[in-house]
Amino acid sequence: MNPPANLHSALYDPEKTVKSGRRGALTFASKACPPPGTADFIMPASKAARLAGKGGAPGARSAPNRLAMRYSPGDRLNVTVFGAPELSGDYVVNADGRIIFPYTGQIDAVGLTNDELSHRIERALIRGGLYVEGAVKLSVRPVQFAPINVSVSGAVFNAGRQTIGGIRDADKLERALTKFGDNPMERYIPAALRAAGGVRPDADLSAVRVHRNGRTFVLDWRGAITGAQVDDMTLIEGDHVEVPESGCFQSALVRPSQITPPGVRIFTSNLTVPILPNPASGNQQHSNSLPYGARLLQGLVHANCVGGTLATNASRYAVLISRNPKTRETEVVQRSIEELVRSADRDMINPYLMPDDAIACYDSAATDVRDVMSLMSTILTPAQQAKWLR
């Protein structure tokens, strides 16, 4: 087979850049990136992350009270004013980010913590002439936090606007009114990154940025992979999460985690005669069972492309059809299945599988010859029979 041609910019995984047969390699990203076959590589902290840690990055800062839950539109809260049942009750933050409080007008609530909102309601009651300074006794308690919309861009598989923090059916309506307090775990950074398909292997996790109302917070999320501490923070409606690109493919990021895909869906095609039925039979057009971090060889085993009769079925070829998640260019890589199985340095030419990759297997030369002979027999037999009939 003639190996498929690719534009140099199309190849994403460094293991795809090595030509089968070791006759040379294409350039990937930069000389600072690790060579193919490097395991568990992760980039050090970027300059932006180091400056943010020192407070020197312009417009970037550590998030104050980053784990404090903040109100967003749709959130339900309970306000109890001592001695004023007509003011007490449940309130919902409107779409414009305000709560409508009796006799005081509308009070801005979006982005405020519970203590900050309590203080704001107290000041509104005093300004409205309902109470004098020091006479207000009130309590604000969250009842139920609603889903929020955030946008995610950069080195993720599916950038765009995402909805996170959905409410479970069991926590809706009457059940929500019987309790105070809520802990929406899906309002944090990992939920936003998972909703965007997870971070790509070329993500710079040391400088994840959250943009909010003109402010930028820089967070270090390498600990999601290494096990170190992470800079998490709660999100509110309208936040924008940006994951910078590192410029290198990091093998350490190709595994299931809080911020990466749990698994990959692949498409398979195996039309060889000795291995039937085809994996696509039974209307199973794709597989969701491969964990993120699986390589081409594991996908080939899943597609029934490995094994069989050694003399006639071992010398087969496979192609990996993928799309560069950064440039969206389609790439096709050819590999000898037997070389992947038997080579000690197989990881040099054994690419990682990315979401929605496709694998196709070609028959061996022995199978090709057999099929050609079968075809010739099919064609010649009727002609020979016609000659005998004459």
* SS3 state of residue 79: strand
Give the position of tokens 């944090």. Answer: 188
Q: Give the integer Cα–Cα distance in Å for 376 and 274.
A: 19
What CATH architecture applies to the domain 76-144?
A: 2-Layer Sandwich (3.30)
Q: Give the integer Cα–Cα distance in Å for 10 and 325.
A: 10
Domain edges within the chain: 8-39+258-368, 47-66+147-247, 76-144
> What does the radius of gyration of the chain's CA atoms come to, in whole angstroms?
30
What CATH architecture applies to the domain 47-66+147-247?
A: Roll (3.10)
Q: Give the integer Cα–Cα distance in Å for 346 and 340.
A: 5
**C-alpha angle 134-141-128 in degrees, rounded to nearest 5:** 40
Q: How buried is 176 (Cβ within 10 angstroms: 0-12 exposed, 13-18 middle, 19+ buried)?
A: middle
The string of DSSP codes covering 279-304 is TT-TT---EEEEETT-BHHHHHHHTT
Q: How buried is 25 (Cβ within 10 angstroms: 0-12 exposed, 13-18 middle, 19+ buried)?
A: middle
Q: Give the integer Cα–Cα distance in Å for 291 and 263.
A: 4
Q: Give the integer Cα–Cα distance in Å for 230 and 228.
A: 6
Q: Give the integer Cα–Cα distance in Å for 8 and 132.
A: 73
Residue type, 349: I
Tens-level pLDDT at each residue, the chain (390 residues): 577 888 766 678 888 887 654 444 434 445 578 888 888 999 888 887 777 766 555 455 555 567 889 999 999 999 999 999 999 999 999 999 999 999 888 999 999 999 999 999 999 999 988 888 888 999 999 988 999 999 999 999 999 999 998 776 555 555 555 566 667 788 999 999 999 999 999 999 999 999 999 999 999 999 999 999 999 999 999 999 999 999 899 999 999 999 999 999 998 887 655 444 454 444 454 455 799 999 999 999 988 888 766 666 667 889 999 999 888 899 999 999 988 998 898 999 999 999 999 999 887 554 554 555 555 566 656 655 556 555
How many helices (H) and strands (E) would you count in the chain? Answer: 10, 16
